Structure 1
Amino acid sequence: MVRSGFRVDASDLTSLAPFDDTTPKGIAGDLARLVTGGELAAGVRLPTVRELATELGVSPATVSQAWQALAGAGLIESRGRAGSFVREASAGRLALRMRGMAAPDDPVRLDLSRGTPDPLLLPALAPALSRVSTRAETGSYQSVPVIPALATVLAHSWPAPVEHIMVVDGALDAVSRTLEQLVRFGDRVVVEHPGFPPFLDLLDVLGAVAVPVAIDEHGMIPDALAVALLSGPVAALVQPRAQNPTGASMSPDRAETLAGVIRTAERGDALVVIEDDHSGMISTEGDVTLGNWLPGQVVHVRSFSKSHGPDLRIAAVGGPPELIDRIAARRMLGPGWTSRMLQTILLDLLTDGASLDAVAEARRQYFSRQRALGDALRVRGVAVAPADGVNLWMPVLSERSALVQLAAAGIRVAAGSPFLAAANGADAAGGMRFRPGAEFVRVTVGMVRDGVDEVADALATAAQHVVAGGY
């Protein structure tokens, strides 16, 4: 048995398995038997796609398809430049970086770690529920995945002309299903740095390589994106508003500049931009999308979790018809559609005056809370940038020390390290917005309803403090 921590060469694999069938299915089957049979232990580093392809006398694309099948089955995982490894038998309920985001269930005085909206600012569901059918019926299993009236309302509010819109079970579902249609094992995907940890987990599952791009207060830095595009990525993941974790929102000028960088790049016309507009209706910034300058290359996702409630599990996704149809067809072989009862509730919430007023008030409240806490921290010497949405990215001398000190004060925030798409500034294309070696925590400002000065005192003290033995 090859034990954890060792690397196997291509010749080692061929000595362990016959590989008589050199189709992707055959290669994947032989390697799967080595893993499940115990010949290859968890943590073993596998040969590169090219090395195994040479050994077997097949094309790298053939081995890539086998690797992708194994990753999809949870048997192997990509760790970027470090290579591909045999995966642990059980990764637990949450993926690696999502585990890093998860907060303990034990209560604290003030939990600012979760990134969720304030439940007191969500619109009431009772009026909408009273107008929903009392029976969970549907006319056909093969009906269109979005009810026509909702599709019309969504299209009228879309930030760019769009031909196809469908509804899925939340923004991450939309991003996941889009990536599955675009990405093959070994493909490169541009991501923001810092960015949303589940995106990196998704890329690991697909066996893709994340290409981190530094951001500033307006989103991805154009020069940094230009550098990243030299690697030939197939997709780019962008959060146009209230970027998680920084709260940065892209300006129309920045969107146009980024579109220009993509348009002029070699093979830029083949790149698909996936925009996750997760906080659109509570953002204080206007609609923005690269789709105005890159028609046919942008998939725009609009989630209603922050504005109307995470448990509704609804997001709309629009983009090139051929791609959206592929996503819809694949989804019909799984959940089929998002409950039309939930779609009817969302339609009611998007057209009812009282609900619209409630969302507008939530937007005002989040703006006020961001400004109040941001101003209070800057007065106390903590250099936080103005932010949009519910989160704020706070620099600290030591992430570990800040977490410990705040916990002692009864306040929980999220560790910053799971949000980092690169190990340090040098690993992100175009450099890093923040000073080398900087550490951060994410603060869910949207949950600070009162006591701003007290919270700012605690945060500022933790930000500027290092516990003995800390990082």
Structure 2
Amino acid sequence: MDLATHVEDRSRRGIAAAVSRLVRTGQLLPGDRLPTVRELAADLAVSPATVSGAWQALGAVGLVVSRGRSGTFVLPEPAGWLPPRYRDLATGGAATWLDLSSGTPDPALLPPLGPALGRVAARSPAADTGTYLSAPLVEPLEKLLRASWPFAPQRLTVVDGAVDALSRTLEQVARFGDRVAVEDPGFPPLFDLLDHLGLERVPVQLDRQGMRADALGAALAAGARVVVLQPRAHNPTGVSMSPTRTRELAGVVRRHMAGPTSPVVHVIEDDHSGEISSSRDVSLGSFLADRVVHVRSYSKSHGPDLRIAAVGGPAAVLDGLVARRMLGPGWTSRLLQHVLVDLLTDGDALDAVASARRVYFARRRALCEALAAHGVTIEPGDGLNLWLPVRDEQTALVRLAAAGIRAAPGTPFVAGPPADDGGHVRVTVGLVRDEFDAVARVLALAAAD
């Protein structure tokens, strides 16, 4: 397309309006490359600064994206229903070979729902007719949860996924303007949630054993009253807390609350990978049961669309959480809870989850070994993701896209000021089923100078 012929007003605003009009009418499609600043400036006989200003305005409203020397491209229509960091993770073109950006489990490794649905339907031909005031957690599921929980919780309930659990718990333990200690890097939707609730995040650095005890102490000294952490299969790094680190972090929290006038601190643990994690199930609740809310999601192990996460912790927090839900959704579908009970007790489903755990373990190590052969050394970690250091984040993403691979940008995962190390991209290694050497070669090239 000769874009210059569609521009009537040659001001910065007029150029931006012309491009916007062409996008809305479908004459410019997502993925189309726009002329360079100098090309269009010459065609319109205007200064490059005028065209550059128009491109910046279009980029600010999400219509185009600049990919450095590759050029400026039309973006798909923004997903306005997504929070900001979710939207950052969703941007980018479709992968032509592998989409390793999602952080989702491999559908082929989830236990089949058909047999469980059939058995539950046979026992309950219709949806439960219990009253609106029946217990929100069905008794068989509560027994299973108590038997497997990493500490003895005063209360247990289930909600609609891990992020719902984080939101409901934060609403109980934090107030507008409170400071919350979070991992850096950490989980982007958590950062969006804290912004939405008017909470200030305090970044806490990690090492190979999880959140650093000295950094947590500094965050608490800076006024943090809530700590949110991932005890294992940390997203994005794959780090898991060791039992020793768990005890150290609990000691830091306990010492901070030791004085008679010391503030109360709550800890929220997001065990999002649950039963597909290979690491030990640890919790600060083993030492601080009255201050820890532990969340275990079944999305990665049994399917995101079940929308079930279990929440266990002190009655003072969980009773308020359940009461608040009674004024909204009320409860998580008891029918789905019974499906989960079936999946947690059926031999074939148990074997499927155990097999998935072994497969993810093997895939992480196979890709890390292949990366090492190409000069990139990364600890395999746990869970579905790898945190790949790169010289330049945008360059790495463009190189990956050119090879047909989509990965998640690292910037949305950063809780504090950006580092000067070039950045990272997150790679969902759990979705790499084969061709480990070929994938590793592309990742190594993307990470290089």
User: The TM-score by the shorter chain falls in which range?
Assistant: 0.7 to 0.9
Q: SS at the partner of 1:131?
A: helix
Aligned counterpart, 2:271: 277
Residue 161 in structure 1 maps to residue 145 in structure 2: no
Aligned counterpart, 2:44: none
Aligned counterpart, 1:98: 86
Distance of 2:378 and 2:394 partners within structure 1: 19
Distance of 1:93 and 1:343 partners within structure 2: 28
Distance of 2:234 and 2:302 partners within structure 1: 18
Aligned counterpart, 2:113: 125
Residue 446 in structure 1 maps to residue 430 in structure 2: yes
Distance of 1:222 and 1:438 partners within structure 2: 26
Distance of 2:248 and 2:160 partners within structure 1: 32
Question: What is the CA-CA distance between 1:134 and the residue it aligns to?
Answer: 3.1
Aligned counterpart, 2:371: 377
Aligned counterpart, 2:66: none
Distance of 1:203 and 1:153 partners within structure 2: 32
Aligned counterpart, 2:406: 412
Aligned counterpart, 2:343: 349
Question: What is the CA-CA distance between 1:107 and the residue it aligns to?
Answer: 4.7
Deviating more after overlay: 329-338 vs 101-110 = 101-110
Question: What is the CA-CA distance between 1:416 and the residue it aligns to?
Answer: 0.3
Q: SS at the partner of 1:275?
A: strand
TM-score, length-normalised on structure 1? 0.76
Amino acid of the residue matched to residue 361 of structure 1? S
Distance of 1:452 and 1:390 partners within structure 2: 15
Distance of 1:281 and 1:455 partners within structure 2: 27
1:277-303 deviation per Cα after TM superposition (whole angstroms, max 9, x unaligned)? 011201111110000111200000000
Distance of 1:91 and 1:258 partners within structure 2: 39
Aligned counterpart, 1:430: none
Aligned counterpart, 1:241: 232
Aligned counterpart, 1:50: none
Alignment of 1:13-412 (within 5 A): 92-104=80-92, 106-132=94-120, 133-266=124-257, 270-412=264-406
Amino acid of the residue matched to residue 239 of structure 1? Q
Question: What is the CA-CA distance between 1:102 and the residue it aligns to?
Answer: 1.4
Question: What is the CA-CA distance between 1:233 and the residue it aligns to?
Answer: 1.5
- RMSD of aligned C-alpha atoms? 1.5
Amino acid of the residue matched to residue 87 of structure 2? R
Aligned counterpart, 2:447: 463
The answer to whether the 8 A contact 2:110-2:356 is kept is yes
Question: What is the CA-CA distance between 1:138 and the residue it aligns to?
Answer: 2.6
Gap runs ≥5 in structure 2:
1-77
TM-score, length-normalised on structure 2? 0.79
Distance of 1:231 and 1:394 partners within structure 2: 31
Query: Structure 1 vs Structure 2: percent identity of aligned residues?
Result: 59
The answer to whether the 8 A contact 2:94-2:406 is kept is no
Q: SS at the partner of 2:270?
A: strand
Gap runs ≥5 in structure 1:
1-89, 426-435, 466-471
Distance of 2:190 and 2:372 partners within structure 1: 31
Distance of 1:394 and 1:259 partners within structure 2: 30
Question: What is the CA-CA distance between 1:266 and the residue it aligns to?
Answer: 4.9
1:426-469 deviation per Cα after TM superposition (whole angstroms, max 9, x unaligned)? xxxxxxxxxx434000000000000000000000011104xxxx
Question: What is the CA-CA distance between 1:262 and the residue it aligns to?
Answer: 1.0
The answer to whether the 8 A contact 1:383-1:395 is kept is no
Q: SS at the partner of 1:284?
A: coil
Aligned counterpart, 1:32: none
Question: What is the CA-CA distance between 1:104 and the residue it aligns to?
Answer: 4.9
Distance of 1:383 and 1:184 partners within structure 2: 42
Q: Which has the larger radius of gyration?
A: 2
Matched length: 366
Change in Cα spacing, 1:99 to 1:438, as seen in structure 2 (3 Å) is: same
Q: SS at the partner of 1:190?
A: strand
Change in Cα spacing, 1:350 to 1:243, as seen in structure 2 (3 Å) is: same
The answer to whether the 8 A contact 2:271-2:294 is kept is yes
1:191-250 deviation per Cα after TM superposition (whole angstroms, max 9, x unaligned)? 000000011111101111000000012110111111111122121100001000000001
Q: SS at the partner of 1:270?
A: coil
Amino acid of the residue matched to residue 98 of structure 2? L
Distance of 1:317 and 1:188 partners within structure 2: 22
